[in-house]
Each structure stands twice: as C-alpha cells, then as structure tokens.
C-alpha cells in the first residue's frame, strides 16, 4: 500500500491533521492509520459525551509544557468556531467560556469530522497498530503489529499519550520515539483526581461542595482553583482538583491540597455567622451547629474533627475560641497527597515528546518528513476545552505544513 501522507492515530489531532493536509494540498493522498476498529473513540467520551471542544479564554496561562510556539499555533489556525462551521457545526458556549457543539453531542462532532474526511477522500485504515518506522528511498515504511506495511513520503504522528488507555492510548508510540533517541519530558497523569490515604477521608466519601482548593508545598501556595470539590473513598476530585493534578509531577511527596469550604466568605463573616448560631442554637447538640450551612456528613465531620468531643454535648459548651478554631478548619482543611491517579482515570498526559525535538512547523528536527501533533507532544492544557483546542490547532498546523512540504514534489 502507498500513501503520500500517513497519519498515525485517528483521534482529534489526527483527523484535524488529515483535513489540514488535504485542504492545503488536494493533490496528495492522505491515509489515517488507526489502531482501534474505528477512529475518534476518545472523542465520544469528551465533556461527558457533550464534547467541550474549545474555550473562549485561550490564554497561555491555561497551557503547560515545552512547545514554545504553542500559542502562536493556536492563533494562526482557524478558531474552533471557524473550523467546525466549515463542517456545518455551530458552536455555543457557557458562562465559563467552555465551548460545545450546538447539538451538545460528541457523537455528532465525530460524525461531522468523518463526513469532512470522506468528502476530502481521506482514507481510514483501522486495525493498524503502528509498531515500526523505517526510512526508504521514497520516504518511510511503516509496519503494523500484524505485519502489514505501508509506504509513504511523510508521516504525521498523532497517536496521543498515556491517558485513558482503555480508549486506545497506551503510550506505545511515545516509547517508540523515546527509544529512537527523542527527548521526552517527565510524564504524569493530568486532569485527574489526586489520592489521599483513605483513613484521612473517613466520613467524607460522597461529599460534593462548592469551594476552593489550593495546591500547597512547604507552606507555599502554588495555585488556587475554585469550583465543585468532590471527595471519594481515597481521592479528592472535581474540576478544581483536576487542574492541580499536574503539580504532583514536580512536588511528589511534598504536595498537599488545602480546601476552603466557604471560599465565598471572609473569615470574619464566617466567624460572625458561627457566633450567631452558637447563641441561637445553644440548647441543641453540637452535631446541629452547621445544619443548614453544609450537608449532614460534612457538617458532622468538621465539628467532630475540630472539637474532638461527643456530638451530643450542647452547643452552649462552646467558647469564642472554639468558634474561631471551627472557622479556621472550614476555611483551611489540608490533606497530604499520597499519589496521583492511574492513567485509566486521567484525561490528559502531562509530558511527552519534548518541544526541542520539533521545529516551529512541528516537524521533527532529527527525522525530516516526520511531524507531530496533539497529546503525544509535551503540551497540555487545563480542563475546559484547552486540550481539544490544542488537538485541532496542532493537527491543522502539522497537516498544513506537511502537505505544503510536498508541493512541487509530484
């Protein structure tokens, strides 16, 4: 089999790369080689099936990694709105600036991408798991696990990272390039829960509460996020935690999360409120002190954890200093992080092929003719549509540059 451009991996960035290449140079043949039996399987799970395909707040603070011209690539490729409008998919956004297809259906995004690839005569070769790349006179020979070979002049590598291996991405292709001598940045599950030893979370399982979470190391606050905090048997979760998961990479063994369950109130406002209920509910047991302020489990946990006394004691036994201690606990409950989540529970891979391995066109510096895009590169974004936007932009960019390099060669 022969194709001008072989795209390795039919995920978000691979499909965008194929479209970008064919749009730039309709004379080239483009084939997407996908390991699974269908392309775009991960896309179907994005945004809980709604596909948070981009953000209205595309600023560099939301991106991480070593690809130096990442923002330039995003600025110089069509916006998600433009890209999807060419496929007849209008885009809407919520109050946080998260962008979704109007249908709020990831399946309809994949269907539209595939209608576009079909219009452009892009070929899909599913069940092709790349295991080897060799150079030949014309370009490259790629080989699949089952021994099928294909010849091509250019390769675009869009095989993703390690996150969510159940959706096709087990990091094999990244390891292949690492073994070929490519520098890789340290890997870590990102957009993922963070683990806390289960005895520390006893009594908190199932709690969902709005608040803020700060990543703390050696007493220094590294970053604070606001949103819904979710607590499971052995992990802290929720979007605000997801966005701090990447700190585990750098601060492993000395990272804590500090939770503020009343981030909307100043400490003095909270103390005033608690003081009022102390007087108002004087004849009630301690377990009723926070009734109406938090759900039962959290209310009981905080009172028990702060006072260490039987919950049947009367609220009237509390002193002003107890109220101050409770306010402190509500606004600053710290948990040491014992581990990061498994790749199965992570949405994104932090780390990957280092930005120094590619030029501004995302072409490999050592192996000319090979381009990279998407999550396989050391580039990741926060939760909120940033990763898919990187997949579309880097795919279109690599595809366009790759196809451009073939102009005049035929």
Ligand X SMILES: Cc1cc2nc3c(=O)[nH]c(=O)nc-3n(C[C@H](O)[C@H](O)[C@H](O)COP(=O)(O)OP(=O)(O)OC[C@H]3O[C@@H](n4cnc5c(N)ncnc54)[C@H](O)[C@@H]3O)c2cc1C
Q: In terms of CB distance, is 130 or 229 closer to ligand X?
A: 130
Enumerate residues 379-398 that contact ligand X by CB under 6 A: 385-388, 391
Are 18 and 122 in contact by the 8 Å Cβ rule? The answer is: yes
Strand duo 256-260 + 98-101: pairing: unpaired
Q: Does 238 bind ligand X (CB under 6 A)?
A: no
* Separation between Cα atoms, residue 163 and residue 174, nearest integer Å: 12
Q: How many residues bind ligand X (CB under 6 A)?
A: 40
Strands 149-157 and 2-8: parallel
Number of Cβ atoms within 10 Å of the Cβ of 231: 25
Q: Which stretch binds ligand X (CB under 6 A): 47-55, 60-68, 201-209, 315-323?
A: 47-55
Residues 159 and 130 sit within 8 Å (Cβ to Cβ): yes
130 lies in the site for ligand X, by CB under 6 A: yes
Binding map of ligand X across residues 86-125, x = CB under 6 A, - = no contact: ----------------------------------------
Binding flag, residue 52, ligand X (CB under 6 A): yes
CA terminus-to-terminus distance, the chain: 18
- Rank residues 129 and 260 by Cβ distance to ligand X and give the closer one: 129
62 binding ligand X? (CB under 6 A): no
Distance in angstroms (rounded) separating the CA atoms of residues 67 and 54: 19
> Of the two residues 173 and 216, which places its CB atom closer to ligand X in the complex?
173
Q: Which is nearer to ligand X, 38 or 281 (CB)?
A: 38
How many angstroms separate the Cα of 405 from the Cα of each of 16, 63, 155, 312?
A: 17, 28, 12, 77
Other beta carbons less than 10 A from residue 219's beta carbon: 6
Told to check if 8 binds ligand X by CB under 6 A, we report yes
Q: Running DSSP on this structure, what letter comes out for residue 46?
A: G
Per CB under 6 A, which of residues 174..213 are in contact with ligand X?
A: none
Q: Which two tokens stand for residue 268?
A: 């003095």
Which of 99, 374, 402, 403: binder of ligand X (CB under 6 A)?
374
Q: Which of 124, 129, 225, 322 binds ligand X (CB under 6 A)?
A: 129
Q: Which residue has the tokens 């072989």?
A: 6
Q: Which residues would be at the binding site for ligand X (CB under 6 A)?
A: 8-14, 33-36, 41-42, 45-47, 51-52, 128-130, 158-160, 163-164, 167-169, 172-173, 347-348, 374-375, 385-388, 391
């Amino acid at each position: 089999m022969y194709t001008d451009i072989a795209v390795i991996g039919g995920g978000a960035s691979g499909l965008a790369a194929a479209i970008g290449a064919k749009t730039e140079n309709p004379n080239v043949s483009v084939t997407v080689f996908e390991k699974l039996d269908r392309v775009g399987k991960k896309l179907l799970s994005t945004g809980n099936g709604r596909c948070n395909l981009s953000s209205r707040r595309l600023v560099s603070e939301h991106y991480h990694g070593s690809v130096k011209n990442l923002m330039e690539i995003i600025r110089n490729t069509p916006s998600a709105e433009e890209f999807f409008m060419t496929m007849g998919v209008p885009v809407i956004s919520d109050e946080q600036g998260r962008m979704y297809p109007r249908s709020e259906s990831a399946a309809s995004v994949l269907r539209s991408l595939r209608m576009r690839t079909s219009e452009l005569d892009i070929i899909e070769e599913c069940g092709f798991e790349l295991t080897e790349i060799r150079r030949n006179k014309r370009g490259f020979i790629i080989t699949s696990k089952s021994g099928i070979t294909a010849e091509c002049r250019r390769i675009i590598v869009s095989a993703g990272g390690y996150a969510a291996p159940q959706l096709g991405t087990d990091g094999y292709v990244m390891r292949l390039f690492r073994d070929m001598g490519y520098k890789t940045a340290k890997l870590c599950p990102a957009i993922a829960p963070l683990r806390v030893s289960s005895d520390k979370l006893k009594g908190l399982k199932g709690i969902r509460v709005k608040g803020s979470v700060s990543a703390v190391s050696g007493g220094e606050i590294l970053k604070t996020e606001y949103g819904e905090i979710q607590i499971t048997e052995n992990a802290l979760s929720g979007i605000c935690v997801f966005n701090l998961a990447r700190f585990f990479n750098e601060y492993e063994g000395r990272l804590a999360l500090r939770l503020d369950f009343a981030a909307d109130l100043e400490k003095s406002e909270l103390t005033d409120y608690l003081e009022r209920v102390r007087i108002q509910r004087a004849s009630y047991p301690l377990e009723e002190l926070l009734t109406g302020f938090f759900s039962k489990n959290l209310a009981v946990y905080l009172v028990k954890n702060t006072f260490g006394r039987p919950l049947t004691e009367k609220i009237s036994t509390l002193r002003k200093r107890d109220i101050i201690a409770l306010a402190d606990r509500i606004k600053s409950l710290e948990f040491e992080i014992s581990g990061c989540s498994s790749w199965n529970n992570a949405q994104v891979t932090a780390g990957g092929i280092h930005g120094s391995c590619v030029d501004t066109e995302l072409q490999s510096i050592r192996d000319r003719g090979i381009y990279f895009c998407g999550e396989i590169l050391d580039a990741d974004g926060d939760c909120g549509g940033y990763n898919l936007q990187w997949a579309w932009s880097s795919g279109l960019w690599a595809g366009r540059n790759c196809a451009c390099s073939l102009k005049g060669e035929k």
